[in-house]
Amino acid sequence: MTVSSRPYDIDFDEGRHPLGKLGFILLATEQTVQDDMIRICPPGVGVHFARVDNPDSITNESLAAIAPDLTRTARTILPDGSLDVVSYACTSGSLVLGQERVEELLRAGNPNAKPSSIIAAVIRALNAVGAKQIVVATPYLDEINTAEKDYLQERGFDVLEIQGLNLEKDSDMVRVNPGFILDMALQLDRPDADAIFISCGALRSVDIIDALEQRAGKPVITSNQALAWDALRLAGIARKIDGFGRLLREY
């Protein structure tokens, strides 16, 4: 018996994801981002995920400790070089490290992909809708809220108020009822705020964006909505998407 290969003229196409391939690095404890990216991104866009090790405790210290693992993890997503964008999908983690450091670590692991993060996505999203004065709702401990307020204000935003739920465990953040998030954001809103920002990829905030925008009469930016919008636009995908607020519908 002989084994041989026939000289086929193989017919290749662009594969299942001709529009683009997006990579997201998640925390090991993350339970929301993956579902949201699959839900938001249109057919023809590939969404690919890898995870970094972390404890269930979300503190400045635990988030800073993730840095050495970002490059290795970025390297595991489509190492053939076909990935268009790689993003660190953790709001608090990316602001604790800072976008410049995150980009450096991601670029080292996946040099062909455009690097980003949730905090970078949020800043671009807030700028896109013309927001300068904002209120911020989070599930975080005060130490992370303080870091987030400082980070946003250093980048030109006037944070009128930031309120957190004082939750430390990621496993608790994923269980906050979306209706509670909507009520919290409405109570936090102020007439002089240009936009409401709901921070944290673990929160199921995408579920209530349209309802909140209708009731508040202003743009609502959430971590995962901004993450999807930013990754799509960085990949050159300009498709407008309904159901997740003004950002994805108009920008």
- SS3 (DSSP) at 27: strand
pTM of the model: 0.95
Tell me: do 134 and 105 sit in the same domain.
no
User: Which secondary-structure segment (H or E) carries 152?
Assistant: helix 142-154
Q: Is residue 4 part of a domain?
A: no
Could you give the number of structural domains in the chain? 2
Shared domain for 110 and 232, answered yes or no, is yes
Task: Collect all residues with Cβ–Cβ distance below 8 Å to 174 and sequence separation of at least 6.
Answer: 31, 32, 202, 203, 204
Same domain, 112 and 236: yes
Compute CA 203 distance to the chain's CA centroid, rounded to the nearest angstrom.
11
CATH number at residue 148: 3.40.50.1860
* Of 223, 217, 214, nearest in space to 137 by CA: 223
Higher pLDDT, 90 or 9: 90
Q: Is the pLDDT of residue 5 over 90?
A: no
| pLDDT higher than threshold 80 for residue 4 | no
Residue 57 shares a structural domain with residue 97: yes
Q: Does residue 2 surpass a pLDDT of 80?
A: no
Same domain, residue pair 44 and 106: yes
Q: Write down the pLDDT at residue 161.
A: 97
Q: Is residue 39 part of a domain?
A: yes
Range of the domain at 49: 20-117+226-240
Question: What is the mean pLDDT of the segment spanning 92-102?
Answer: 94
Phi-psi region of 182 (alpha: psi -120 to 50; beta: other; left: phi over 0): alpha
pLDDT value of residue 8: 81
Same-domain pairing of 204 and 230: no
Please compute the mean of the pLDDT values over residues 19-25 and round it to a whole number. 98
Indicate whether 24 and 84 sit together in one domain: yes
* Of residues 107, 115, 63, the one with CA closest to residue 88: 115
The pLDDT-based confidence of 7 (bands split at 50, 70, 90) is: confident
Q: What is the pLDDT of residue 1?
A: 62
211 and 235 co-located in one domain: no
* CATH number of the domain enclosing 44: 3.40.50.12500
The CB density around residue 77, as the number of other CB atoms within 10 Å, is: 20
Tens digits of per-residue pLDDT, 143-180? Answer: 999 999 999 999 999 999 999 999 999 999 999 999 99
With respect to residue 247, please indicate whether it lies within any of the assigned structural domains.
Answer: no
Instruction: Say yes or no: 95 and 212 in one domain.
Output: no
Residues 211-225 have pLDDT tens digits of 999 999 999 999 999
* Mutual angle of helices 223-234 and 118-128, in 10-degree steps: 90
What's the mean per-residue pLDDT of the chain?
96
Inside any domain, residue 6: no
